[in-house]
Structures are given as structure tokens and as C-alpha cells.
């Protein structure tokens, strides 16, 4: 999942640097991702993983790193399997 | 009193419309905003960029921390003479109430490929961040 998230951020995050060099815990906003770019990342993640981020997850902290995005997606997928 | 400001590139909004289409428009903007920004061929990215800037400026005023706020719970309303104001709902409205915000003032503008917005909020008292 990490590689898929990296690819989506590379394509939609409009980062000025190569995301391949960033560790999973790196702050994407510090790396140059704008709030509008984070919307594009969210939409692309929803399309790719067939999930919808609920309002409670629309926080800066959820989209601030590859690791936090992966944790949120893992949670959403676990919730989906319980339904 | 609190203040928030934001700047958005019109080109990135245009690109989001091209890439994500309805998914982007419906997730971020309200039906009223899409109507206000409508053109004969679709929606005007300049006006949408100004609205996105207004939403982000409002979020800066609300200081949500770990409270999730959907962009379409912050609505920019255009009035016939041309001025705009804000209508909040859901968690955005709850945060404003919690912060003791009694009134918002909004100004938006776009020029040269960028859109900007400034939001000023009057508060009854300043709550802890």
C-alpha cells in the first residue's frame, strides 16, 4: 500500500521535490504540499482504493505523511470489511 | 478577533476540475457555490479558486486541530450587489460557536492567475487554542 500512496502523492501532491526521497513519516506540508493539493491527493486515494474519507478524517494530521495516510486507509478498509 | 488569509492558484483548480470532475466539485463546493460560479460552458475556475481560498481562510480562523471539517460545510454566498458572506454548517458551525465567534466578514479577489480571500471573525472572548 505504501508504494501506491507514494505514487498517488507523486502524481497529485505537487511536491517540489521527489517523494521517493521522503521517509514515510516526513511531513508532506513541510515538504511543500498545499491544502488544495491535499484535496487532490484525497480524491485520488478515494478513487484508487475505493473508499471515502469521512468528515472526521478530513484533518491536516491525516494527510500530513505517507504513514498517517496509510493508517487512515487501513482503518477505513477494516471498517468496510466489518460492514 | 481572529483573521485568516489564503492564496490559491487558479491553474491548480482548473487542473482539479479536469482531473477529478464531479468528484472534486461535489466534494469541495456546495450546490449554491457551483450555481454562483456557473458559466455557459461549465464552472469558472477563477471564482471557484476564490471560494476555495475563502474556505481555507475560514479554517485558519476556526483553528480546528483534530476536528475534521468538510470543505462544503463552509459556504460562500454571493449576494446580488456583488458582495459575499459565509454560511457555516456541521462541525464548522460548531467550532465557530465554541470559539464564541459572533460574526464573520469575508473579502475575495482574483487576478493574474491567483485568487485570494481574507476572513475576519469577531469573537465574544478569545478561547484557548
Q: What is the pLDDT of residues A20-57, one digit of tens each?
A: 888 999 999 999 999 999 999 999 999 999 999 999 99
Question: Which fold is adopted by the domain A2-82?
Answer: 1.10.1200
pTM (two decimals) = 0.91
H or E, element range at B33: helix B31-36
Q: Which among B74, B1, B114 is positioned nearest to A34, based on CA atoms?
A: B114
pLDDT, tens digit, for every residue of B90-114? 999 999 999 999 999 999 999 999 9
B26 belongs to a structural domain: yes
CA–chain centroid gap for B115, Å, is 11
Cβ distance B70 to A55 less than 8 Å, yes or no, reads yes
Cβ B88 vs Cβ B72: under 8 Å: no
Cβ distance A35 to B90 less than 8 Å, yes or no, reads no
Give the pLDDT confidence score for residue B99 in this predicted structure. 93
- Residues of chain A with Cβ-Cβ distance to B22 below 8 Å are none
Average pLDDT over residues A67-73: 96
Give the pLDDT confidence score for residue B84 in this predicted structure. 96
Q: Is A14 on the interface with B (CB under 8 A)?
A: yes
Smallest Cβ distance to B68: which of A37, A46, A56?
A56
Half-sphere exposure of B41 (CA within 13 A, CB side): 3
B88 belongs to a structural domain: yes
Task: Measure the CA–CA gap between B96 and A50, rounded to whole angstroms.
Answer: 33
Longest Cα–Cα distance of chain A, Å, equals 40
Nearest chain A alpha carbon to B48:
A36
Helix axes A2-12, A35-49, angle to 10 degrees: 130
Give the pLDDT confidence score for residue B76 in this predicted structure. 98
This model of the complex carries an ipTM of 0.86
pLDDT, tens digit, for every residue of B43-71? 999 999 999 999 999 999 999 988 999 99
Give the pLDDT confidence score for residue A18 in this predicted structure. 83
Mean residue pLDDT of chain B comes to: 94
B121-to-B45, B65, B118, B125, B126 alpha-carbon distances in Å: 26, 18, 10, 11, 11
Each domain of chain A, given as residue ranges in start order, spans 2-82
* Residue B129 in this model has a pLDDT that exceeds 60: no
The whole domain housing B6 covers: 2-123
Work out how many domains chain B is built from and give that number.
1
Q: Is A55 on the interface with B (CB under 8 A)?
A: yes
* Residue B125 in this model has a pLDDT that exceeds 80: no
Give the pLDDT confidence score for residue B127 in this predicted structure. 54
- Tell me the pLDDT band of A82, cut-offs 50, 70 and 90: confident
B70 belongs to a structural domain: yes
Cβ B126 vs Cβ B3: under 8 Å: no
Q: What is the DSSP string of B63-103?
A: --TT----GGGEEEEE-TTS-EEEEE-HHHHHHHHHTTEEE
Nearest chain A alpha carbon to B8:
A36
Cβ distance B67 to A59 less than 8 Å, yes or no, reads yes
Question: What CATH number does residue B88 fall under?
Answer: 3.90.470.20
Task: Measure the CA–CA gap between B103 and B2, rounded to whole angstroms.
Answer: 11
Q: Is A61 on the interface with B (CB under 8 A)?
A: yes
pLDDT, tens digit, for every residue of B73-84? 999 999 988 899
Amino acid at each position: 500500500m505504501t508504494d501506491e500512496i507514494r505514487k498517488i502523492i507523486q502524481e497529485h501532491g505537487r511536491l517540489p521535490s521527489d517523494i521517493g526521497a521522503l521517509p514515510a513519516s516526513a511531513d508532506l506540508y513541510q515538504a511543500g504540499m498545499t491544502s488544495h493539493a491535499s484535496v487532490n491527493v484525497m480524491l485520488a486515494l478515494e478513487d484508487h482504493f475505493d473508499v471515502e474519507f469521512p468528515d472526521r478524517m478530513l484533518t491536516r494530521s491525516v494527510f500530513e505523511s505517507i504513514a498517517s495516510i496509510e493508517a487512515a486507509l487501513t482503518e477505513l478498509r477494516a471498517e468496510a470489511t466489518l460492514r | 478577533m481572529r483573521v485568516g488569509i489564503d492564496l490559491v492558484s487558479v491553474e491548480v483548480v482548473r487542473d482539479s476540475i479536469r482531473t477529478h470532475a464531479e468528484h472534486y466539485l461535489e466534494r469541495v463546493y456546495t450546490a449554491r457555490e457551483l450555481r454562483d460560479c456557473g458559466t455557459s460552458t461549465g464552472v469558472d475556475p477563477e471564482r471557484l479558486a476564490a471560494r476555495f481560498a475563502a474556505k481555507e481562510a475560514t479554517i485558519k480562523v476556526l483553528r480546528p486541530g483534530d476536528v475534521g471539517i468538510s470543505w462544503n460545510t463552509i459556504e460562500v454566498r454571493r449576494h446580488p450587489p456583488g458582495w459575499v458572506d459565509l454560511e457555516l454548517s456541521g462541525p464548522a458551525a460548531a467550532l465557530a460557536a465554541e470559539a464564541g465567534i459572533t460574526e464573520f466578514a469575508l473579502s475575495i479577489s482574483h487576478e493574474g492567475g491567483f485568487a485570494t480571500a481574507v476572513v475576519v471573525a469577531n469573537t465574544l472572548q478569545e478561547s484557548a487554542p
